[in-house]
Amino acid sequence: MTKLSLDRILQSQGFGSRKWCRKLIEDGEVSIAGTAITDIRQVFEMQGLTFTLFEEEWEVREQVYIALNKPPAIECSRKPSHHPGVLTILPEQFTWRDVQPVGRLDHDTTGLLLLSDDGAFIHAQSSPKRHVPKLYLATTAEPVTQALVDELLAGVKLHDEPAPLAALFCRQVAEHQLEIVLEQGKYHQVKRMLAAAGNHCAALQRTAIGKLSLTALELEPGEWCFLEPEQLALLC
């Protein structure tokens, strides 16, 4: 990071056009260390800088990495068609920053979703070559049996897939629930694998990516948080 005038810093953080950011400063809406800054020409070191805007404190981040506990009936798309888009439940500045979902969850699938404005990060996390394990909690229409678990572990054949797809891990957790770990990330994979094994997915939640879990993040549905370096390191 480097030194910039406050209006440019606000613009870089997604708080609007430079003209709008200048107005916010001139109107006394931005403060640093408890002091309102009204001089748009004042320069600050971006590294480690925090500022308060509309009584909410923000840390300057060169790029953002976000974890969201996605609720149901939300589309992971910047141009949703039937349900609200995921960015509508996040602060507006993330849209200005061109934050995008890392991969997708179906509109009716809930749980851990990553978002970022770092293109290299999005590409790396989305690449099938990385084989990042993802843990899902699936609720089934029919009771879970050991035969179902065994079949998912052995591999099931899906339409348009050249070879059977197998779970890395699978176990029953309730009469109608199982945990399953996948690394391929195929289209509707959990739902299709359950259907191929003779059951049906009634509800699906992603609970972990790599070693990063919703439980550790303590996010309720619809809540989000920034990911710090130690948490990003768990995405492997």
Three-state DSSP at 4 gives: strand
pLDDT at position 172 is: 98
pLDDT at position 11 is: 95
All structural domains of the chain, each given as residue ranges with its CATH number in brackets, are 3-59 (3.10.290.10), 65-128+212-232 (3.30.70.580), 133-209 (3.30.70.1560)
- Among residues 106, 118, 150, 160, the one annotated as catalytic is 106
What mean pLDDT do residues 175-192 have? 93
pLDDT tens by residue, 62-109: 999 999 999 999 998 777 778 888 999 999 999 999 999 998 898 999
Place of tokens 């029919």: 142
pLDDT at position 185 is: 79
C-alpha angle 45/50/53, rounded to 5°?
120
- Please name the residues in contact with 189: beta carbons below 8 A apart, sequence gap of 6 or more: 158, 165, 182
pLDDT at position 122 is: 93
User: CA–CA distance from 187 to each of 45, 111, 161, 192, 218 (Å)?
Assistant: 44, 17, 11, 8, 28
On the question of pLDDT at 23 being above 90, the answer is yes
pTM > 0.95: yes or no: no
pLDDT at position 128 is: 76
Is 106 catalytic? The answer is: yes
Q: Given pLDDT bands bounded at 50, 70 and 90, which one contains residue 1?
A: low
